Amino acid sequence: MPELPEVESVRRGLQAAQLRAPVVEVWRSAYKLRVGKSWAEENLSCLKDNVPRDIQRRGKYIVWEFAGPGGETNGLVIHLGMSGRCGVTTAAQPKVVHTHFALRMADAREVRLVDPRRFGGLRAGPLDELMASEPLGTLGPEPLDPGFGGELLAERLGASRRPIRDALLDQEAVAGLGNIYAVEALFAAGIFPLVEAHRLHASAWARLAGTIVTVLQRGIDNGGTTLKDFRNVEGEVGRNQDDLRVYGRADEPCPRCRASLVGFVSGGRSGAYCPRCQPRPRTRTIR
């Protein structure tokens, strides 16, 4: 599933397209999307005659602001799911298979969502209501915001008895962080991924917060990680998969010490760690 860097790459691509012409048509396929099942209704028709404004990101969600014809501020929330791709094309271009949404502008351009697995989601409505309701309203702090650090991370997760890798995936604790970047951050911080979160000392939380920011920023700079489906707005794959240190590299040599990386599964999600650089702790508190 696209994580924060992949969604941010798509957001930047949409923003760079400078979509400012009014919406003249909203098209939706007859197929339901998985995330949409948890929302009362998609309400996409409210976007007609709206003027696009700023495009933001909240966690793993794209949040697009629109000026409504009556002066109201509307929003469109896009979740890419596992295989969703957003692209900008001309309205004359035929829709490819698995296209489920198209927003046509007065300048004859269209923003389209292609989602073969249909694990994504769409929802529109008053922007303030979207930001306050689930899922956006329950998301935790943004790890790339200036206030993010070890103290905040410990406040959100310091009492958890879950393995630290699993705890980091809680979107109400840290917005946008997923399995790939959690595994990478723990390696960079030298923390065993299966240690219970409550055992981390303040110094370990500070170190981990720093490496989370580092690996996320590296992912953004590399245009995201493409393991299978991810593409940016131009249809290009990311480059970060070539820069991963441990994720998906079980049994390969550690890039630091050359020890064989060890794979693990916890909470239904796989990962990898270095037994030397991230040793299983022998003390109660992890510094």
32 belongs to the catalytic site: no
Active-site entry in 218, 269, 275, 281? 269
Choice among 2, 52, 135, 163 that is catalytic? 2
Is-catalytic flag, 146?
no
Residue 3 bears catalytic tag: yes
Which residues on adjacent β-strands are paired with residue 103? 26, 111
Quote the Cα angle for 224-183-248, to 5°.
Answer: 70
DSSP code of residue 85: E
Q: Give CA–CA dist 226/59, Å, rounded.
A: 18
DSSP state letters, 4-38? HHHHHHHHHHHHHTT--SPEEEEEE-SSPPTGGGG
Q: Of residues 57, 60, 156, 207, which has the active-site annotation?
A: 60
Buried b (16+ CB within 10 A) or exposed e, 49-80: ebbbbebebbbbbbbbbbebeeeeebbbbbbb
For the chain, how far is it from start to end, CA to CA, in angstroms?
A: 31
Residue type, 162: R
The CA-based dihedral angle spanning residues 24, 29, 35, 37, taken in that order and rounded to the nearest 10 degrees: 110
Token readout for 129 is: 């209501």
Task: Output the six-digit token pair for 90.
Answer: 């001309």
Show which residues are catalytic. 2-3, 60, 269
